[in-house]
Amino acid sequence: MVITVVSDVLGEENNGTTVAAMNLIRALKAAGHTVRVLCADQYRSGQDGWYVVPNLNLGPLNGYVASVGVTLARPQRDVIASALSGADIVHIMIPFALGVAVLHEAKRRGIPVTAGFHAQAENITSYVGMADSRAVGHVCYKVMYQSFYRHVDCIHYPTQFIRDLFEREIGRETVGRVISNGVRGDVQRRETPRPAAWGDKIVILSIGRYAREKSQDTLLRAAAMSRYRDEIQLILAGQGTWEARLRRLGEKLPNPPIMRLFDRKELVDVLNACDLYVHPAEMELEGIACLEALVCGKVTIVSDSPLAATSHFAADESCIFRHRDAADLARVLDRWIDTLKNDPAKLRAYEDKCAASAAVYRLDACMAAMEKMLRETAHGA
């Protein structure tokens, strides 16, 4: 098939949408399909199979967009026409300006369209200081449905959690499939030596963009409350607009957190070498980093937020804390650090349980399901 993949947000593989898009593109090409990519990554101009539109000018927000390592797209009619000409199906990653424009043009041409659900309304409301307003979030979901998702032929939901949430908010069932974005094959459980710099510290890793909804501040405060605060070494892998704020919080700890963006190999090594993994996010549509930690057999501690899919990945209640409650997270951390120190056999059993639970999220199976969705939608099945 000739498949056009559209992504308003692409750029570096440092965010969930970009990683999901690039994994899909690579998998479809490997399966023998002709893949066209429509985006605003200017360095791709002239490369075979890439159709590049201009960047969207957001004025004072341009600096913020650049700081998180992504690009945003401004629709351009002739480029869209070229990317769609002769396509069997279009897959749109997110319903931003370029995705909306492509949807309307594809429908005009009679080309089937699938679309991913990779952006929670709460992610949008968080940036405008209205994250706690359920009414505003409800309106956002309604607008997303009326202006975009009701027009597509099939919706790709990365989790059952986000499908249930969306359908509850819009008050109706949708045509869609639940398929995880998947964990790449380079993420594997393996024995990895601890860096000498870690010494005998208790190393707790958390991966995610530095932002309010990722709640790294809750983890920093919990570490300060822990009985083991003098022994804990936090690693916050990521980047984002909350970096200065998080660093100020971290300076209060006996061992200031290690904060930086890791390359893929480094990150897999750190995942395997750390003692515990914490995913404190209160808004998370899927949470690939959380799944990667499970694949690596890490006891993975998550929040109970009703706006995060990650609460469904916990091995049991002993791995869940009340979202944005630093004292409760400190309680859970101390329980697991006690286990780490005093009952390594129990810790190992939980690590095995976590690794086994993640087998269904391997990338090859997920990408095969995505290919099947595209093929069946293209053929009207």
Res. 30: pLDDT tops 60: yes
DSSP 87: -
Residues 123 and 232 in one domain: no
**Vertex 55: Cα angle to 51 and 61 (nearest 5):** 155
Residues 294 and 306 in one domain: yes
Minimal CA–CA distance to 276: which of 196, 213, 324, 222? Answer: 222
CA R_g for the chain: 21
What pLDDT was estimated at residue 1? Answer: 97
Residues 278 and 343 in one domain: yes
What pLDDT was estimated at residue 67? Answer: 60
* Alpha carbon separation from 223 to 23, 52, 209, 334 (Å, rounded): 35, 45, 19, 9
DSSP string spanning 191-230? --PPPGGGTT-EEEEEES-SSGGGTHHHHHHHHHHSTTTT
Average pLDDT over residues 359-379: 95
Res. 165: pLDDT tops 80: yes
Read off the CATH number of the domain in which 275 is found. Answer: 3.40.50.2000
Residues 21 and 132 in one domain: yes
Q: Can you list the alpha helix ranges (DSSP code H) found in the chain?
A: 16-30, 62-67, 77-84, 97-109, 121-127, 134-147, 160-170, 216-225, 243-250, 264-273, 288-295, 326-342, 344-357, 363-378
Tell whether 372 is covered by a domain: yes
What pLDDT was estimated at residue 19? Answer: 86
Q: b or e along 189-212 (b: 16 or more beta carbons within 10 Å of the residue's beta carbon)?
A: beeeebeeebeebbbbbbbbbbbb
Res. 280: pLDDT tops 90: yes
Whether 202 contacts 307, CB under 8 Å: no
Residues 155 and 200 in one domain: no
* 221-278 confidence digits (pLDDT tens): 999 999 999 999 999 999 999 999 999 999 999 999 999 999 989 999 999 999 999 9
Residues composing the chain: 381
Average pLDDT over residues 320-344: 97
Number of domains in the chain: 2
Residues 370 and 345 in one domain: no
Residues 99 and 116 in one domain: yes
Tokens 């041409």 belong to which residue? 109
Residues 237 and 347 in one domain: yes
* 95-123 confidence digits (pLDDT tens): 999 999 999 999 999 999 999 999 888 76
Tokens 């369209």 belong to which residue? 113
Residues 232 and 278 in one domain: yes
Domain around 352: 196-359
Residues 157 and 216 in one domain: no
